[in-house]
A and B are shown apart, each in its own frame.
Chain A
Amino acid sequence: MLALTLALLLASASGETFPICFDPGNGLLLGAGPALQGGAVTPELQAGILLRTEWKSRSKGTPWLNTHRLFVTRVRSGTARLGLTATLYEGNLRRHLEEGFILVPTARPVRIPFPFDLTLAMRLGHYERRVWEGPGWTLETGRAALLLDPVRATTARVWLGVGPAASHALRSSREGMVHELSPFTTLLLDAGYETENGWWAARVTALAGWVVGLDGGMRFRTREEVVLERLLIAVNDQPVWLRLSAAHAHADAGGSRMDEWSAGLGLTVRVWSAR
């Protein structure tokens, strides 16, 4: 315990301790930096609440490793790419088992090894408004995915989930509003790695699959995003990371479902994220 305390806190020259370990999955998120989208560079601001929890299921007696992201909002200013992206809630809830298995309920139950953790990945209320495109917006009301995690880490800071996702979205444009549904016809990948001290953090999310309109028409689309962060400094014990990101959308960006590349470079602060 003493060694752990020493590892988390160091003493300054004046003898005061200061934190050197942070949790990138916790804290009040604030970020700023330039973003490149469609050949235009615009300033981007980011804010949100990150919360990482761990609790033991009463009914199953096994731990749930959860990462919640609330009200994560990105605003791009400038007339060229003025826009807003906001997510009410996004969460990864992973139930970790020492030894996963499939139970076949014969008279004498058979236990078949199943080397995966199960993750419930949810996203509620994801809204996007692109002012430069004119009237219109996109609202993903909900997305739920069941992911298999072969890494089965005992901590929430390492995860790799792949599995089918179902979603419903509304896409409003000049032509009107359409419903888009993905009845588990989308494959979602969500992977992340954060070092134990939180100095490095990386996250990859990708989805590919078909959405169906209420008119029965099907459409293929993909989305990918990579984020890499490196801790640079801490100001008054509040850590500041350098954030590098890249994203791509195929037939899914904006009201007209365009292909799109974007990239960002900025600084992010996670207030109250010291371990």
Chain B
Amino acid sequence: MMTAVLLALLLSQAGGPEAPSESAAPASTVTFAPAPSPLPSLLYRGAIWCASLGPSPQVPSGRYRLQCDTSTRRCLAVPQNELEADGTESERPLERTSSCQELPQGELRQLLADGYTFVPAIAEAPPGWYRDERGRVMQFNFDLHRRVWLGGAWAPLWRTGEPRALSRGRLDFGIIAEVPDGERMMRRFTVLDTELILGEQSSLDATLFRYDTNVRQDKPPIRVTTFLGKPRRWDFNFDMGAWLEVLRLEMLRRGGLDHIFYTLISGHLTLDLWHSRDLASYVRVRAGPSLEYDRTNSTFALIPGAAAEGNITLDSNGFHHVTFGAEVEKLLLDMRVEGRPHHPERLRVRAGYELILLAINDQPLSLVLEGRGQWRTDLLDERPVWEWSANTGLRFSLWAPARRSAPLAAAR
């Protein structure tokens, strides 16, 4: 409906304004061709001219952005301001357009003399952004690896042999930033990654700072050549990176008792099993030690741990995300504590899916579905059982710019 109104209004410009004699005014009559449907878009990286084509009732300023194609002798023309709902030009300039060069009136006269047609169009939009018929631009591509997030979820819990705990809610918060270092390394910083579970079996898991990298090696360190049949070379890459966590607090209330663990520092080496071309998505394994203080039992422990994990963005616009992981830890050099086994162990598994539902003022709101399980023997006077949690909730993200690999709207 909106498109039809706009097309009608733009079409009504056909036969356009007469050119006044002043040099700042259009040099000649500009006749617009009928508006095609859908309206074509100017190319973001193409040369764009700014020109006065003469005022009209719909575009009183008479100012347009032009992109001309010599092979088709066609110029796409877009008013320099956004349009109102009734199709008339507003006073709001188009946002996020590329720069344009003023087209001299002599050049415009030449275009008209050469028989160029002027076609109503939509202005260009940068990668990751979409522009509607009124020229309003909106972000259509989100990088959830660069954001400040705030979320809430329902998080029921099932513990083997116990009644299910349905009155549980989760609150999560965090800041993440990804910084590519050339094409071969991605540095990732996560700050205040916090997850608070309220209600039955409450818990708090907060990490002050996390740093990790994904690396693409320049040369494969191991190359194997086979000579069975035609000689072939097999390259084996070891894309190793680092993973570091500083000050993690884990508080759990189980069996009416608060269990508090401070992981002072963790350092792991990572090995990518797979990563995307932009290094934003990955599947990897990591392993290394952690130093932990168990405040409940006033004991330090050295914890060797290993994990397999993945974080994959499924689509180019960043709307679908899958995360998963399995982690195992064993406490060593810990004091013997009555009420739990010596050298206790932990096993955690998780899988999640995040889908951007909509964006409010260019800030995405996403649906989060997650399943988790854990089995641990480190809780005092608590029998080790599997506990499973299913989380369903919403997450609001600030920042979340367009992905570095965002395509142009026309390429979608």
Contacts and interface: CB of A to CB of B under 8 A. Distances in A.
- Do A and B form a real pair? yes
Contacts of A212: 198
Interface string A158-195: 00000000101000000000000101100000000000
B363 interface: yes
A61 interface: yes
Contact of B140 (A109, A118, A184): A109
A181 B360 contact: no
B199 A101 contact: no
Interface stretch (A13-21, A70-78, A92-100, A128-136): A92-100
B220 to A, nearest CB: 36
A120 B147 CA distance: 14
Contact of B362 (A58, A60, A168): A60
Contact of B171 (A97, A104, A184): A184
B360 A183 contact: no
B138 A111 contact: yes
B170 to A, nearest CB: 9
A190 to B, nearest CB: 17
Contacts of B95: 61
A153 to B, nearest CB: 15
Contacts of A39: none
A61 B396 CA distance: 19
Contacts of B70: none
Contacts of A214: 202, 253, 258
A59 interface: yes
Given A103-B139, A216-B199, A183 B171 contact: yes
A166 B396 CA distance: 13
Contacts of B199: 216
A44 interface: no
Given A109-B132, A118-B363, A184 B152 contact: yes
Interface in B193-211: 196, 198-200, 202
B398 A120 contact: yes
B32 interface: no
Contacts of A109: 130, 132, 138, 140
A240 interface: no
A105 B320 CA distance: 12
A114 interface: yes
A162 to B, nearest CB: 15
Contacts of A59: 399-402
Contacts of A45: none
Given A118-B363, A216-B199, A105 B92 contact: no
B301 interface: no
Contacts, number: 82
Contact of A103 (B196, B253, B358): B358
- Interface size band for A: 20 to 34
Contacts of B200: 216
A58 B126 CA distance: 13
A168 B96 CA distance: 40
Interface centre among B171, B356, B360 (most CB of A within 10 A): B360
Contacts of B116: none
Contacts of A97: 361-362
A117 B92 contact: no
B358 to A, nearest CB: 5
Interface string A201-234: 0000000000010101000000000000000000
Contacts of A50: none
Interface string B311-347: 0000001010000000000000000000000000000
B34 to A, nearest CB: 22
B317 to A, nearest CB: 8
A147 interface: no
Interface in B353-376: 356-363
A160 to B, nearest CB: 16
A184 B396 CA distance: 13
Given A59-B401, A60-B401, A183-B171, A101 B361 contact: yes
Nearest to A145: B150
A102 B200 CA distance: 35
Interface centre among A60, A111, A117 (most CB of B within 10 A): A60
Give the 10 A-B residue pairs with the shortest CB-CB distance, closest first: A59-B401, A103-B359, A183-B171, A100-B361, A103-B138, A60-B362, A109-B130, A97-B361, A102-B360, A61-B96
17 contacts: A58-B401, A59-B401, A60-B362, A61-B96, A101-B138, A102-B359, A103-B138, A103-B362, A105-B317, A109-B138, A111-B136, A118-B361, A118-B363, A146-B396, A214-B253, A216-B198, A216-B200
Interface of B: 92, 95-96, 130, 132, 136, 138-140, 150, 152, 169, 171, 173, 196, 198-200, 202, 253, 258, 317, 319, 356-363, 396, 398-402
